[in-house]
């Protein structure tokens, strides 16, 4: 089967006060190249932990995660961070841009690290990304001169600068108003349309309804996998998708 990412019997256990807590309980999943997937589920169900473990940001306790043919459990920390730098992009709810750098500098820094072209080429690509996400005018600003929505666009540019195969987002619209959230989802849709695989954790039915496939987690397990199909043009059939998704979530016991 054609997969970009496959987890098998993935477990993550934390030990807190000498007691073991199983946060991921034998999770298996497969993501195809080009898919646009969201992960929903109650708070504490393990969504963020899933994202961190399948992206190698955290070390799984047992099981297997294969990303583009590479078993993550076999990689050293150094090898894992190189793979992440070149092949994965991350967008978080908390926008952690560096305060003492300008916006464009924040976007290019990981491409300089990856030596992805000359500085001139990298800066040029950063400006293309800023144009694509509608923040061209901010290139020379520092981050105190931008709104939350604009900063999240900059964070998306940063995630895209090394042309990753997959973007992971942990509640990337969670701190935004609904208009900015819609705009950010439109950017994600555009990125996905150009071929990048995307996996987003979200609480928001409106956000999940814009993705292609919704995974539902309860107590560290994936309890449901719902296929909505790709959203074709911005917002066209979205109410119907939201209703279908909501109906399914209710059936799943949310």
- Count Cβ neighbours within 10 Å for each residue of 48-65 and write b for 16 or more, e otherwise: bbbbbbbbbbeebbebeb
- Out of 17, 43, 76, 232, name the contact with ligand ADP by CB under 6 A: 43
200 belongs to the binding site for ligand ADP (CB under 6 A): no
Tell me how crowded residue 104 is: count the other CB atoms within 10 A of its CB. Answer: 22
Is residue 167 within 8 Å of residue 199, measured between CB atoms? Answer: yes
Q: How far apart are CA 5 and CA 55, in angstroms?
A: 9
From CA 4, how far away is CA 165, in angstroms rounded?
9
Q: Provide the minimum distance between the beta carbon of 51 and ligand ADP in the complex, in angstroms, as a whole number.
A: 8
Among 29, 35, 37, 47, binds ligand ADP (CB under 6 A): 47
Does 197 bind Mg ion (CB under 5 A)? Our answer is no
45 binds Mg ion (CB under 5 A): no
Residue 198 touches which of ligand ADP, Mg ion, none (Cβ within 5-8 Å per kind) = none
Give least dist CB 53 to ligand ADP, A.
Answer: 9
Site for ligand ADP in 166-185 (CB under 6 A): none
For position 89 contacting ligand ADP by CB under 6 A, the verdict is no
The pair of structure tokens assigned to 150 is: 């604009």
**How many residues of this chain interact with ligand ADP, rule: CB under 6 A?**
12
Q: State how far Cα 35 lies from the chain centre.
A: 12
Query: 12 near 60, Cβ under 8 Å?
Result: yes
Least distance in angstroms from the C-beta of 164 to Mg ion: 21
Instruction: Name the residues that contact ligand ADP, by CB under 6 A.
Output: 14, 16, 21, 23, 41, 43-49
């Amino acid at each position: 089967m054609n997969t970009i990412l496959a987890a098998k019997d993935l477990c993550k256990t934390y030990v807190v006060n000498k007691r073991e807590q199983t946060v991921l309980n034998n999770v298996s999943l497969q993501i195809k190249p080009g898919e646009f997937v969201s992960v929903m589920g109650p708070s504490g169900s393990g969504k963020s932990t899933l994202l961190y473990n399948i992206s190698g940001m955290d070390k799984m306790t047992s099981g297997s995660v294969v990303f583009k043919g590479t078993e993550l459990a076999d990689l050293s920390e150094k090898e894992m961070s190189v793979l992440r730098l070149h092949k994965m992009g991350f967008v978080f709810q908390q926008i952690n841009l560096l305060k003492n750098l300008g916006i464009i500098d924040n976007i290019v820094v990981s491409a300089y690290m990856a030596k992805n072209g000359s500085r001139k080429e990298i800066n040029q690509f950063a400006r293309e990304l800023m144009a694509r996400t509608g923040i061209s005018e901010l290139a020379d600003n520092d981050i105190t001169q931008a709104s939350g929505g604009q900063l999240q666009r900059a964070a998306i540019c940063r995630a895209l600068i090394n042309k990753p195969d997959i973007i992971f987002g942990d509640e990337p619209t969670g701190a935004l108003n609904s208009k900015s959230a819609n705009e950010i989802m439109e950017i994600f849709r555009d990125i996905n349309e150009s071929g990048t695989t995307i996996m987003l954790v979200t609480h928001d039915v409106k956000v999940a309804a814009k993705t292609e496939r919704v995974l539902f987690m309860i107590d560290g397990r994936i309890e449901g996998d719902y296929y909505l199909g790709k959203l074709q043009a911005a917002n066209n059939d979205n109410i119907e998708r939201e209703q279908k998704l909501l109906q399914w979530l209710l059936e799943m016991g949310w």
